[in-house]
Structure 1
Amino acid sequence: MESSIQTIASNTLLVIFAVVAMTGIICSKLSEILKVPDVVLFLIAGILIGPSFLQFIDISHYQVENQLILTFGSAFILYLGGKEISLKVLKNVKVTVFLLSTVGVIISTFIVAKVVGLTFEVSYITSLLIGSIISSTDPATLVPIFNQVKIKDKVKQTVISESAFNDAIGAILTSAVLAIILSGQFSLSENIYELGIMIAVGVVVGIVTGIVLLKLVNDQPYGIFKDFAPIISILSVIIAYEVATKFGGSGYMACFIVGIITGNKKNFKIWLSQQSYDADFYVAETLGTICRMAIFVILGSQVDLAMLAKYFGPALLVVLSLMFIARPVCVFVCTRFDKSAKWDKKEMLFMMWVRETGVIPAALCGIIASMKIPNYEIISSIVFMAILITLIIQGSTTKLVAKKLGLLEEEQKEITNNKKEIFES
């Protein structure tokens, strides 16, 4: 009898995976046609096929599997975000990126927490938890957008680098606030110390794991596993996350650092053969796409529409404060201290506008919902609104805003050519 029950459960999980994957594929195709970020469609589709409507999937009975998808999915996406960072370009804007992904996250967290406290009857620590979850931006959404919209390299790399770094910082901050909620204790000095340890251990574990495992797939002379580069990449994420967590560090930070090392392997004198590089690239991209599909479709399926309708007005107010108060303040404050980057007003305005909420907040929200943290319905409603509104409004208008501000590469070339013609004439 027990084996038959386990078989039924296994078959149900396989069906859920097949439904999620097929839904994701259809939504990805529709996003190309409609020119809408695919994660928006993943979310909406998740609502439609979840318990609220068609009841094709219900992940509530599979909490362990849900946690596995959300934890590994968010860790792997942070790894992919790290791979997108160019250390060469980052060097020129490192101060801005550092400030935006640290001070900026903290500023956003406290501004959002203040607004949440004014609009919802929740404790201040719950307000901080909400602020820390939605304070980060989303490399998984921004990278595909910037692949289609050719922005000036300086601005593009800054926004992508910030989004990858602040995802890691946001995840760490959320973990720290969650630990305070679960323990019921708060000590400023102790919690700052623990936060520092989480970051430091995560960075060290990420560097060691990334370099050691990449050496094993190096073309020569240590590359004894060079034919297994894609598998080693996946293992590097799992090993980095687990080892960092074991030693009290941030698994998310460790995975992110592994991604940076992988994306800048030549800086560490590591080379892959073309065959290994191609195999690793396609496997990582495919697995990343599956993770994004699973996280957003499952998050959508868990949305309680009655609760969303109940908290719609206050949640909308929180999201608008994030977009039009917290983000502009962050960019203004953080860019003022980086004189060497020489940011102009148009570049600053563009960075103020581009701050899509995405995968990591979705994954963190899913984890919190599965743990049934007090007021998780309010948290889920605000996070869902933040993802939906920022992706639809900001994600779909990135090119338009860049064009209005004259930040498209094509326009920059035209201006340069016109100046050249006038000078020559």
Structure 2
Amino acid sequence: MDVNVVEQANNLMRILAIIIFLGIVLTKISKRINIPDVVLYIAAGIIVGPAVLNIIDFSEFGVINQVILAFGAAYILFDGGREIAINVLNEVKVTIGLLATVGVLISTVVTGFFAWQIFHIDFIYALLLGAVIASTDPSVLVPLFKRMNISPKLKQTIIAESAFNDAAGAIITFAIVGIAAGGSFSVGGSLLDLLKTAGGGILVGAIVGYIGNRLVCEGKFGVCRGFTAEMAIAAVLGAYVISDLIGVSGFMAAFTVGMVSGNKSIFKLSAMEGSDEAHEQFKDVTISLVRMLIFMLLGVQMNLEIISQYWGESLIVILAFVFLARPISVLLTVPFDRKAKWNIREIAYLCWTRETGVIPAALAGMLITMKIPNAELISAVTSMAIIITLTFQASTAKYLAKVLKLEVKPKIKVQ
């Protein structure tokens, strides 16, 4: 065997051991000091990464980094999908549709305008910056709101939006890249791409999710009973890969697999006794591990030199992003959903809830790889947006729900 391969494998195992151990310690600390664990993961990644102590350097593991990002985000979305009750989702489908499409576009334009004025870059690249950070982060929002006792309508709107707006954010980002490269923009064509990407992902996820659950449930087709957790991972991976091959949203597909899994009764699927409980324990451990990996590696790979160069201007853009772009996006979309009957307190809460995370980070990384002009600047602003929104918005989500009197008594979940 190649000596270099053995050395790389040993180095990778050393890195994983350090990350998991630090993750365990930081998770315990976060519960004591009431700061979101992901903020501590990012900070630890910066400290142990090349920028400070240089204990961990992940630059030679590009493929593995991409696998962690893609699978981690997909599996977290699967977990979010399991939390969605289809009957509740039906009540707020207009809100989710508007926030995940029109809302993302509004946020892109508002943030892009401020970036254009402050950084004095071409407007097309300012719009690109706005598009990259426009989508919210399921890897933070799903675990955060699973633990919060707010109304199912509000909770599931926030979780579902974080899944659906990833597709819109990515489509707008690459549409702008195409325009910057000399292409043309078509509203109709972009809407068609969005419908194809999101709708295709839903279709793939529904088919794969149904087949996977049918194989592990009671009945004559349940030939894989007893392997619910293993089948879930296979279904998530399979749905993601199939979606990628045919050019639709793998993240949407993973989310839909979770929705099928969490709504078995609607699909007339009967789980084997005890299988869901065992799956839940396995899933919680897996989610914990992938979150440690995603956010600590994000910290390891942050470019502090670029951040220090543009921190002042970036801060102004991010403040406009949080206090103007998101509220405007919500106020111009959510009130139009009369069926959902949103009250002013719920609308105010939606204005504040828009944490940035792994998908914007991945998009920023892709722009650097593609050598897009101003990609380093976009990456710097994205990194700061992640740190600021996770530190201030995620950490205050529970407190704000209490202030706005949105907390409800927990109910026993019936599968």
CA shift, 1:94, in A, is 1.9
| Counterpart for residue 284 of structure 2 | 285
Question: C-alpha distance in 2, partners of 1:314/1:111?
Answer: 16
| Counterpart for residue 63 of structure 1 | 62
1:185 aligns with 2:211: no
Deviations 1:19-66 (A, max 9, x none): 221222121111111111111011101100000111111111222222
| Counterpart for residue 296 of structure 1 | 295
SS in 2 for 1:110: helix
Question: Please, what TM-score do these two structures have when normalized by structure 1?
Answer: 0.89
Question: Please, what TM-score do these two structures have when normalized by structure 2?
Answer: 0.91
Q: Does the aligned pair in 1 maintain the 2:69–2:358 contact within 8 Å? A: no
Which shifted more, 15-24 or 353-362? 353-362
Structure 2: gaps (5+ residues) = 410-415
1:354 aligns with 2:353: yes
CA shift, 1:222, in A, is 0.8
SS in 2 for 1:60: coil
| Counterpart for residue 91 of structure 2 | 92
Work out the percentage of aligned pairs sharing the same amino acid.
42
Which amino acid in 1 is paired with 2:233? Answer: I
| Counterpart for residue 115 of structure 2 | 116
SS in 2 for 1:220: coil
CA shift, 1:270, in A, is 1.4
Question: C-alpha distance in 2, partners of 1:299/1:338?
Answer: 37
| Counterpart for residue 422 of structure 1 | none
Instruction: Pick closer, same or farther for the CA change 1:51–1:394 going to 2, 3 Å.
Output: same
| Counterpart for residue 244 of structure 2 | 245
Question: C-alpha distance in 1, partners of 2:79/2:152?
Answer: 19
Question: C-alpha distance in 1, partners of 2:225/2:92?
Answer: 34
Aligned pairs for 1:338-353 (under 5 A) are 338-353=337-352
Question: C-alpha distance in 2, partners of 1:192/1:151?
Answer: 33
SS in 2 for 1:403: helix
| Counterpart for residue 311 of structure 1 | 310
Which amino acid in 2 is paired with 1:233? Answer: A
| Counterpart for residue 74 of structure 2 | 75
Instruction: Pick closer, same or farther for the CA change 1:171–1:78 going to 2, 3 Å.
Output: farther
Please give the root-mean-square deviation of Cα atoms over the aligned residues, in Å: 2.2
Which amino acid in 2 is paired with 1:41? Answer: L
Q: Does the aligned pair in 2 maintain the 1:350–1:401 contact within 8 Å? A: yes
Question: C-alpha distance in 2, partners of 1:340/1:192?
Answer: 24
Question: C-alpha distance in 2, partners of 1:104/1:115?
Answer: 17
Question: C-alpha distance in 2, partners of 1:269/1:294?
Answer: 36
Q: Does the aligned pair in 1 maintain the 2:228–2:279 contact within 8 Å? A: yes
Deviations 1:85-129 (A, max 9, x none): 221212222211221122111111221222222222444443333
Q: Does the aligned pair in 2 maintain the 1:78–1:168 contact within 8 Å? A: no
Question: C-alpha distance in 1, partners of 2:143/2:193?
Answer: 35
SS in 1 for 2:35: coil
Which amino acid in 2 is paired with 1:342? Answer: K
Question: C-alpha distance in 1, partners of 2:125/2:343?
Answer: 37
Which amino acid in 2 is paired with 1:295? Answer: I
Q: Does the aligned pair in 2 maintain the 1:70–1:367 contact within 8 Å? A: no
Which shifted more, 154-163 or 184-193? 184-193
Q: Does the aligned pair in 2 maintain the 1:169–1:253 contact within 8 Å? A: no
CA shift, 1:364, in A, is 3.4
Q: Does the aligned pair in 2 maintain the 1:171–1:252 contact within 8 Å? A: no
SS in 1 for 2:227: helix
Aligned pairs for 1:316-335 (under 5 A) are 316-335=315-334
| Counterpart for residue 154 of structure 1 | 153
Question: C-alpha distance in 2, partners of 1:342/1:84?
Answer: 22
Which shifted more, 189-198 or 40-49? 189-198
Question: C-alpha distance in 1, partners of 2:115/2:384?
Answer: 14
| Counterpart for residue 413 of structure 2 | none
Deviations 1:281-328 (A, max 9, x none): 222222222221111111111112121111101111121111111111
Structure 1: gaps (5+ residues) = 411-425
Which shifted more, 22-31 or 190-199? 190-199
| Counterpart for residue 103 of structure 1 | 102
Question: C-alpha distance in 2, partners of 1:66/1:159?
Answer: 27
CA shift, 1:151, in A, is 2.1
Instruction: Pick closer, same or farther for the CA change 1:55–1:85 going to 2, 3 Å.
Output: same
Deviations 1:345-395 (A, max 9, x none): 122111111222223323433444455544332222111211111122122
